Amino acid sequence: MKINSVERNGNNATIVVEIDKELMETGVNKAYMKARKSIMIPGFRKGKAPRKMIESMYGAHVFYEDGLEEIFPEIYDFAIAHQEGFKAVGRPNLTDMQISDDNVVTLTLTTEVYPEVTLGQYKGLEVEKAEVTVSDDQVQAELDRMAQNVASTETADRPAQMGDTANIDFEGFDNGVPFEGGKGDNFDLKLGSGSFVPGFEEQIVGMSAGEEKDIDITFPEDYHKELAGKAVVFHVKVNKVTVTVVPEMDDEFAKDVSEFDTLDALKADIRAKALEKAEKNAQTNFENACVDKAAENTTVDLPNALIERELDVQMERFAYQLQMGGYSMEQYAKMMGGDVTTMRNAFRPGAEKQARISVTLEKIAEVENVTVTEEDIAAEIESLAKQYELEPEKVKEMVPAEELNESLKTRKAVQIIVDSAVAVAPKAEEKTEE
């Protein structure tokens, strides 16, 4: 093979390559061997027709297109992968094929190429970082959560109050006719939870176990169309009223719910853990903001193939998350009132942002001469092995070396940005006059 010409125009390149007769013949013969199994020609058993006979009937170049598919990896490696000065993104397109009288094949290939990336400022960036604090209210909220986990339930021998749980039977009627979805038996309703339509729970307050009554309810205008805005009647019977008994928060409570002997020690531990978590979140947000700002300062015209590749990754990741929840992408899209194409379009801005970040980090790694040592790789394999409870050799089999190398380079590029960044206090929000 030989390259006749290479022309780059922005993010696109056109390459004209001449294919060796011998290589073309190899591809054509492979295509013939696959196709002949399904070709029938009078006088020959199915799959036994000679290639020359097929070519005489269907054209001398009948197998050329499929033949090119057979040898395309070699064509790509020669004409695209090893080109100096650019890197192809996505699969090249065959836009023209010329076959000379002496059967020399000349191909014209077009491909999107990796973009020219011009870095802006990525060192010494001033980036906001929130000051981390843990309030007494946050500590109390965690204590309340812990108390609810060990709370007991007792039957209340009194009328229901807000905060109680009423076990009820109910049935709704629209002009005396029961409507679909309006009936329930032995339903535990936490009064004040807002679980039912407005006005329902409030009218349960004051009812005692064994009491029955009709409740007048008007459905909101934004309710589903069959009942929106309608005035209906619910017949309700209270079977039982229960109250949640939350333990008193003292030293005994601390002993019951933790390894600490005093409530003060438990509070201090809650505060310390909340502070550690908040600091980690603040640092993660700071690092992400640093990288975002560096990417915003980068000048690049992203080829569509890069964005589509990132979209594929994000869609695949989201589909996996949905699958873990028992949904398919199609089911989720339908619930959201769209289809998979709509979902993909919704993901596009995020994919564009991530593609910009990726090319920025790759360029920083190149400019800063970032290298990955064998020790780096060994440490990462060991870390992944512990994380996923696998043998290191199994990790090596599962994670391609090139992918691991690029991941570590990217991480080091992020660290270059973050280590030089200057954390500044967030700007106070401006008050607007109403």
Domain harbouring 36, CATH code? 3.30.70.1050
User: Is pLDDT at 259 greater than 90 in this prediction?
Assistant: yes
pTM equals 0.72
**Residues 60 and 160 placed together within one structural domain of the fold:** no
Q: How many CB atoms lie within 10 A of CB 314?
A: 15
321 lies in the same domain as 396: yes
Does residue 27 have a pLDDT over 80? yes
* More confident call, 214 vs 46: 214
Torsion of CA 394, 408, 317, 118, to 10 degrees: -150
- pLDDT band at residue 432 under the 50/70/90 scheme: low
Same structural domain, 109 and 217: no
The span from the CA of 111 to the CA of 125, in Å, is: 36
Whether 434 shows a pLDDT value over 70: the answer reads no
**Are 396 and 342 found together in one domain?**
yes
Tens digit of each residue's pLDDT (9 = 90 or more) over 212-224? 999 999 998 888 7
Report the number of distinct structural domains present in the chain: 3
Secondary structure of residue 61 in the 3-state scheme: coil
Residues 194, 99 within the same domain: no
3-state secondary structure of 220: coil
Band (362; pLDDT cuts 50, 70, 90): very high
Q: What are the angstrom distances between the C-alpha of 351 and each of 116, 254, 340, 420?
A: 19, 48, 16, 27
Task: Count Cβ neighbours within 10 Å for each residue of 281-302 and write b for 16 or more, e otherwise.
Answer: eeeeebbebbbbbbbeebebeb
Vertex 367: Cα angle to 362 and 370 (nearest 5): 70
- Pairwise pLDDT comparison (375 vs 223), residue with the higher score: 375
**306 and 394 housed in the same domain:** yes
- Percentage of residues in the chain having pLDDT higher than 90: 58
Q: Are residues 287 and 340 in the same domain?
A: yes
Q: Which helix (H) or strand (E) holds 239?
A: strand 231-245
**pLDDT value at position 433?**
55
Sign (positive or negative) of CA dihedral 334, 337, 342, 345: negative
Least confident of 148-162, 269-283, 387-401: 387-401
Is 433 among the domain residues? no
Say yes or no: 221 and 292 in one domain: no
Measured CA to CA, the distance from residue 23 to residue 165 in angstroms comes to 80
Q: In the predicted model, what is the mean pLDDT of the chain? A: 90
Together in a domain, 277 and 384: yes
